[in-house]
Amino acid sequence: MSKLPLEMPLDAFPGIAQKFSKYLKKLGIASVRDLLWHFPARYEDFSQVRRILDLEPGEQATIQGTVEEINLRRTWRKNFTIVEAIIADDSGNIRAVWFNQPYIAHTLRVGRTANFAGKVSVSHEGELYLSHPAHEIVNAQATEQNETRHTARLVPIYPETRGLTSKGLRFLIQPILKNVEELTEWIPQEVLEENDLPELNRAIEIIHFPSKIEDALTARKRFAFEDLFLLQLVNAENKSALAKEKAYAIKTDIEKLKTFISRLPFELTPSQKKSLWEMIKDLEGPDPMNRLFQGDVGSGKTVVAALAALIAADAGHQSAFMAPTEILARQHYHTLKNLLLRLDTPTEAALLTASGAKIIYKDGLEADISKQKLREAIKAGSVKIIIGTHALIASSGPSSNHATAGKKEPGTAFKNLALVIVDEQHRFGVKQRQALLRDPNQRTHPNDTNKNGSNSRHSDTFVDSHRVPHFLSMSATPIPRTLMLTIFGDLDISTITELPAGRKEIVTKVVLPEERKQTYQFIREEVNRGRQAFVICPRIEGSAKDEPATGSDFRKLELKSVKEEYEKLSKTIFPDLKVAMLHGQMKPKEKEKTMNDFAEGKIDILVSTSVVEVGVDIKNATIMMIEGSDRFGLAQLYQFRGRVGRGEHQSYCFLLSDSKGASTKERLQAILEAKNGFELAEKDLKIRGPGEFLGESQTGLPDVAMRGLQDLQLVKMSRDAAAKVFAKDPTLKKSVVLKKELEAFKRRTHFE
C-alpha cells in the first residue's frame, strides 16, 4: 500500500472531509502534516486504574466502571448544560459531572463500560464526584479478554474545538500516523545522540501515543528544541556574516581619553570603566562591534556611550546616537553638550529630530540650524556626533515607537559613519537591528539616493560601501538570560553591575485609596524641602475620547487622565505649587520647554503620561507617583521608578491602583521586591511570557519554541549544538536537509 504524503490535504479523505473538515479548519488543520503536528496539550493517565472505594478527595485518578444512570439537564441560564452520570465498579459508585458537554450524554449510554480519568472533587454535601473526567469507552467483548490493560494507558488530550473532541482527534490521528510516509529527519544524527533526543518518526509517534509520560516529555523536548536550534543556527550565520564585514578600525588615544575622563564631574564606576574598555577593544579592530550594553536604570550608560562616540570623533569618524523618544534624544544631546564644554577642543556635534535641529561648533558655541543645512554638513562629514531619534537612520518600514510614528522623515546620508548607538534597544525590533547591520553593500552611494524614492531599505543611508558601522545598543530593561542566548544570541554583552556610589534605595510603596490624602501631604513636604515630583497617569484625556471604551473595557473610563489630574492637582490639591503637565499630544517645542522647566526646578510637580518613561534624568526629583499602576507593564513601572533616586536625596515611588485582582498584586509585589532589573526581567518573563515581554514585533516563533525560550537548559543545549554544527559545516553543504529546513524556518519567522 502506498503511504500518505505529508502534504496531502485532508479533504482528499472523503470520510474526513464530510464529517470533520469544518472543525479541522477551525483548528487550522488542512493537511496530513497539520494533523500530525497538532500536539496533545496533556495526557490523561489511564494506566493506573483505581477502585472507586479507594478514591481520595483532590487526587487525579482513573477508574473503570459501568454507566448506571446518565442524564442531561439544562440550567436556568440558556445554553448551559450539565451531564450527570453514576458510574459503578464492584467496589462502589460515584457521580461524574460535565458542564456544557451535552454530547457526552449521547456517547455514554447506560450499560456502557468506560475508563474515566479526572479530578476527584468534593461537593457541598461532602460527597465525592468526578468533575469533567476524560473518558474512553472500553469495548465490551474485549473487556473479557485483556483489552483493559491495553486501553489503560496514557491518553492524549488535544486542544479541542466545539464539535471535535480529543477522542475525535485521536480517531483521526491514529490511522493516519500508521500510514503516513516516512518523515525525513533533518536534525543531524550526532545532535540527536548527544542531546538524547528522539528521531523524528519516533517523536511524532510518542508525542501522540506515549506508553509512558517520559516518552511524551522527550518528544516534546525535541519539538521545542527544533526551533531553538534553527534560531541558533540563524544567529551563528549572522554572527559569521558580520565577521566577514569590515568596519573602521578606530584607535583610541589613551592619553586624550584619560583627559576626557578626568574632566567628568564624577569618577567612573568599575563597571563603567570595564564596559568602556570592552568597547575600545571592539572599536580597535576591523571586525564590526555588535554589542549590547546593559545596566540598570540610572547606572550611567549614557556617559560611557558618549565617550565611545568621542573616541570615534577624535579618530575622525562619525557616530549616530539614537534614542526612542525626542525627549530622550534632547537629553542625550544635553549630556553630550555638557561633556563637550569640558573639553579644550570640542568636536562638532548636532541634534536632529523631527521638530528641528541644533549644532554645537568646534568652539563650543551652539546654534539652531535648518535640518537641510545640517544634513549637508553630515554628508560632508564635518559633524562628528549626531544625536536623534530612530528616524535618523532607519528609513524603512513603519516604526513602532511613538517618536517617529506617522512622520516620514528622509534618512540621513553620512560621510563616514563608524559607530551607531541605539538607546533602549529592546524597544526596537530585532529585524530593525538586523536591517541596520546586514548587507551594507546594498546601501547605495549618496549620488543614487532617492532614485527610487526613499522606500527601499537602505537607499537613504550612505555608508562607505566597504564598511559597516560598529553597533552598540543600550538597554535598561535587562534581557533575561534565555532570551539573551536566543533572540539576542548574536550579540556581545557589556554589563554595568553597580550603581554610582552614594545612591539610596528607592522606597517603594503600594498606596491604598484611603492613603491618598496622606501621600499628597507627603509630596507637599518634599516640595517644601525643595524636591520635585512626577505624577504618571495612564491616559491623556479624561473621557472615552482618545480610546473609546467598549462594554468589556468600561474600566478605561475610570482611568486617571493627565488632563484631569492636572486640573485637580493644580486647582484643588496644590493651588500654591507649580504644577505642569506633559503628554504626547503637546507640540515638541512645548514638551521641550516643560521638560527644561522641570529640569531647572521651575516646576514642582509634573503630571505626565509615559513619555517620561525612558531615560529621563532629573536629580532633584524624588517622588514618582504612578496612578493606575496596574495598567503598565513591570518593565515600564521599573523604568518609571528609575526616574527618581538619581541624585543624593532619598527617593520614593508610590504605586496607586484601584484594581484588586490577584495578578495585579503579584505584579506590583514583583516590583516592590525586585532588587535589580535583572531579577524583574525574569519575573516579567514568567508572568507575561516571552511574546508580551518582547512585544509582538520581536519574534515570529511558534508556541512550542516560545515555551522553550523559558527553559534555560534547553536554550543552552540548542546553542551548543548549533555552534558545533556550524563550526563543522558553516554553509551546511553536507547537510542538505538541514539547510532546507533552515531556509523554511527563516521564511516562516521572517528573519529574511
CB of residue 724 to ligand ADP, shortest distance in Å = 37
Cell 564590526 -> residue: 288
Task: Tell me the residue type at 223.
Answer: F
Nearer to Mg ion, 346 or 615 (CB): 615
Question: Which CB, 503 or 746, lies closer to ligand ADP?
Answer: 503
Q: Supply the minimum distance, in Å, between the C-beta of residue 495 and Mg ion.
A: 14
Binding of ligand ADP by 64 (CB under 6 A): no
Q: Does 427 bind ligand ADP (CB under 6 A)?
A: no
CA separation for the pair 205, 211 (Å, rounded): 10
CB of 506 to ligand ADP, least distance (A): 13
**Segment near ligand ADP (CB under 6 A), from 97-105, 292-300, 449-457, 660-668?**
292-300
- Told to check if 478 binds ligand ADP by CB under 6 A, we report no
> Which residues lie across from 474 on neighbouring strands?
293
Q: Which three cell numbers stand for residue 265?
A: 564631574
The piece of 61-69, 301-309, 656-664, 720-728 that touches ligand ADP (CB under 6 A) is 301-309
> Distance between CA atoms of 267 and 255, rounded to whole angstroms?
17
Q: Give 3-state DSSP helix, strand, coil % of the chain, rounded to 5.
A: 45, 20, 35
Tell which positions 485-514 bind ligand ADP, by CB under 6 A: 500
Question: In terms of C-beta density within 10 A (0-12 exposed, 13-18 middle, 19 or more buried), how is residue 513 classed?
Answer: exposed
Provide the minimum distance between the beta carbon of 562 and ligand ADP in the complex, in angstroms, as a whole number.
Answer: 24
Residue among 65, 198, 210, 295 that touches ligand ADP (CB under 6 A): 295
Q: Give me the amino acid identity at 520.
A: Y
Give the Cα separation of 612 and 295 in Å (integer).
19
- Picked from ligand ADP, Mg ion, none, the partner binding residue 646 (CB below 5 to 8 A depending on kind) is ligand ADP
Q: Which is nearer to ligand ADP, 164 or 328 (CB)?
A: 328
Q: How far is the CB of 335 from ligand ADP (least distance, A)?
A: 7
Helix, coil or strand: residue 581? strand
Contact pick of 40, 188, 298, 645 for ligand ADP (by CB under 6 A): 298
CB of 469 to ligand ADP, least distance (A): 21
Provide the minimum distance between the beta carbon of 407 and ligand ADP in the complex, in angstroms, as a whole number. 25
Strands 579-582 and 621-626: unpaired
- Report how far residue 106's alpha carbon sits from residue 448's, in angstroms, rounded to the nearest whole number: 73
Our CB check for Mg ion shows the closer of 294 and 347 to be 294
Helix (H) or strand (E) holding 318, with range, is: strand 318-323
Nearer to ligand ADP, 171 or 266 (CB): 266
Among 362, 384, 259, 327, which residue's Cα sits nearest to residue 583? 327
Using the minimum distance from each CB to ligand ADP, give the nearer residue, 24 or 612.
Answer: 612
Least separation in angstroms between residue 298's CB and Mg ion is 8
> Computed over its alpha carbons, how large is the radius of gyration of the chain?
31
The residue among 328 and 360 lying less far from Mg ion, judged by its C-beta, is: 328
The item of Mg ion, ligand ADP, none sharing an interface with residue 269, based on CB under 5 to 8 Å by kind, is ligand ADP
- To Mg ion, the closest distance from the beta carbon of 164 in angstroms equals 52
Could you give phi then psi for residue 26, rounded to 5 degrees? -60, -35
- 302 lines the binding site for ligand ADP (CB under 6 A): yes
**8 Å CB contact between 55 and 120:** yes
Strand ranges inside 113-153, DSSP E: 113-122, 128-137
**299 near ligand ADP (CB under 6 A):** yes
Smallest CA-to-CA distance from 461 within 471, 476, 479, 448 is with 448
Q: Closest by alpha carbon to 496, among 303, 681, 366, 668?
A: 303
Q: Is 476 in the site for ligand ADP (CB under 6 A)?
A: yes
Least separation in angstroms between CB 498 and Mg ion? 16
Q: Between 238 and 277, how does the x/- string for binding to ligand ADP read (CB under 6 A)?
A: ----------------------------xxxx--x-----
d(CA 411, CA 454): 8
Question: CA 88 → CA 101, 113, 530, distances in Å?
Answer: 21, 9, 78
Q: Looking at the DSSP assignment, which residues form a beta bridge with residue 95?
A: 86, 129
500 contact choice in ligand ADP, Mg ion, none (CB below 5 to 8 Å, kind-dependent):
ligand ADP
Instruction: Output the residue with the shortest Cβ distance to Mg ion.
Output: 615
Comparing CB distances to ligand ADP, the nearer of 65 and 300 is 300
Is the Cβ of residue 252 or residue 639 nearer to ligand ADP in the bound state?
639
Q: Of 157 and 327, which has the nearer Cβ to Mg ion?
A: 327
Nearest approach in angstroms of CB 615 to ligand ADP is 5
Q: Measured from the CB of residue 651, what is the shortest distance to Mg ion in angstroms?
A: 17
Q: What are the residues whose beta carbons fall under 8 Å from the beta carbon of 479, sequence distance 6 or more? A: 292, 294, 426, 487, 488, 681
Grid cell of 64 as nine digits = 473503570
CB of 606 to Mg ion, least distance (A): 18
**According to the binding rule CB under 6 A, does residue 615 interact with ligand ADP?**
yes
Q: Which residues contact 263 (CB under 8 A, 6 or more apart)?
A: 339, 342, 343
Which one, 65 or 615, has the nearer CB to Mg ion? 615
Q: Which partner, ligand ADP, Mg ion, none, binds residue 272 by CB below 5 to 8 Å per kind?
A: ligand ADP
Could you tell me the sign of the dihedral formed by the alpha carbons of 44, 49, 51, 56, in that order?
negative
- Between residues 302 and 353, which has the closer beta carbon with respect to ligand ADP? 302
Q: Which residues bind Mg ion (CB under 5 A)?
A: 615
Residue 233, Cβ density class (10 Å: 0-12 exposed, 13-18 middle, ≥19 buried): buried
Instruction: Report in angstroms how near the CB of residue 636 gets to ligand ADP at its nearest.
Output: 14
Closest CA to 469 of 657, 680, 675, 322: 322
By beta-carbon proximity to Mg ion, the closer residue of 538 and 615 is: 615
Cell 496530513, residue located: 32
Residue nearest to ligand ADP (CB): 300
Minimum gap (Å) between residue 667 Cβ and ligand ADP: 22
The residue assigned the cell 528609513 is 395
In the bound state with ligand ADP, the residue whose beta carbon lies nearer, of 114 and 304, is 304
Which of 13, 3, 39 has its CA nearest to residue 216? 39
617 binds, among ligand ADP, Mg ion, none (CB under 5 to 8 A by kind): ligand ADP
From the number of C-beta atoms within 10 Å of its C-beta (0-12, 13-18, 19+), residue 695 rates as: middle
Per-residue contact string for residues 76-105; x = within reach of ligand ADP by CB under 6 A: ------------------------------
CA terminus-to-terminus distance, the chain: 41
- Which residue, 613 or 617, is less far from ligand ADP as judged by CB? 617
CB atoms within 10 A of CB 734: 11
Binding residues for ligand ADP (CB under 6 A): 266-269, 272, 295, 297-303, 476, 500, 615, 617, 646
